[in-house]
Structure formats: structure tokens, C-alpha cells
């Protein structure tokens, strides 16, 4: 990972080699996504939250609260939505806490490419 990339989506973008765009406001409200990756004519949703948001409500409850919106996203736009939790690394730089999600995103990109 490039040490000069401070944002979570920038770090992810450099790993998956696909452009990550901020989601339109209506996607945030309708689908609960912060960013997206366009693959052919389909989209993958990305929701980035600080790990502290998972401390006030457990991860299962958080995911379940958003499940219907994320199902709607997949039905409407073709791809899955993934949660990425960030933690503070050294200095002000944040890093991806649940790095195992990266492989899942890469597999989803491959699925949508074919």
C-alpha cells in the first residue's frame, strides 16, 4: 500500500485498481452507500465507517439495519455493498480494520467483469 495515501477509499482504490467514486446523495439516502466502483454497467457499493461506530452498536446489528437497502442496491445496480471499517494508524493516517473484505471486493469486481 502506498504510504502517502491517507484516505481509506484511496488505499482501497490502489489495491483493487478500479476508480472509487463518491456516491450521489440519493444513493447515500436510498442505499446506504458512501462510495461506489463501476464495473461495466454495474456498481459495487462501499460503506466506510470508523470502527468506533461499531462500538456503540455491534457489527451484526449494523449490517442488519442496512441489509434491505443493500439488497435494493444489488437488485437495482447489480453489485453487492461492502462495509469497510477504519481505524487510526500511525499519526493521522487511517487504515482498513477489516482487511479481509478487500478479497471479497476483488472477487465481486471479477464477477461483474464476466
pLDDT (tens digit per residue) in 22-65: 999 999 999 999 999 999 999 999 999 888 755 545 666 767 77
Whether 62 is covered by a domain: the verdict is yes
Measure the CA–CA gap between 46 and 39, rounded to whole angstroms. 13
Whether residue 15 has pLDDT greater than 90: yes
Whether 2 is covered by a domain: the verdict is no
Measure the CA–CA gap between 45 and 31, rounded to whole angstroms. 9
Give the domain range for residue 14.
Answer: 8-113
Measure the CA–CA gap between 20 and 48, rounded to whole angstroms. 12
Whether 1 is covered by a domain: the verdict is no
Question: How many structural domains are present in the chain?
Answer: 1
Work out the mean pLDDT of the chain and round it to a whole number: 87
pTM (two decimals): 0.85
Whether 102 is covered by a domain: the verdict is yes
Which CATH number characterizes residue 51's domain? 3.40.1350
pLDDT value of residue 3: 46
DSSP letter string, 42-83: EEEEEEEEETTHHHHS-HHHHHHHHHHHHHHHHHHHEEEEEE
Amino acid at each position: 500500500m502506498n504510504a502517502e495515501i491517507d484516505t481509506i477509499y484511496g488505499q482501497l482504490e490502489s489495491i483493487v485498481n478500479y476508480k472509487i467514486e463518491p456516491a450521489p446523495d440519493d444513493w447515500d439516502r436510498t442505499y446506504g452507500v458512501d462510495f461506489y466502483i463501476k464495473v461495466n454497467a454495474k456498481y459495487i457499493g462501499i460503506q466506510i465507517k470508523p470502527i468506533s461506530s461499531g462500538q456503540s452498536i455491534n457489527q451484526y446489528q449494523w449490517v442488519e439495519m442496512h441489509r434491505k437497502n443493500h439488497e435494493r442496491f444489488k437488485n437495482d445496480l447489480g453489485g453487492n455493498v461492502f462495509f469497510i471499517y477504519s481505524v487510526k494508524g500511525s499519526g493521522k493516517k487511517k487504515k482498513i480494520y477489516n482487511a479481509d473484505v478487500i478479497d471479497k471486493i476483488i472477487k465481486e469486481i471479477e464477477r461483474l467483469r464476466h
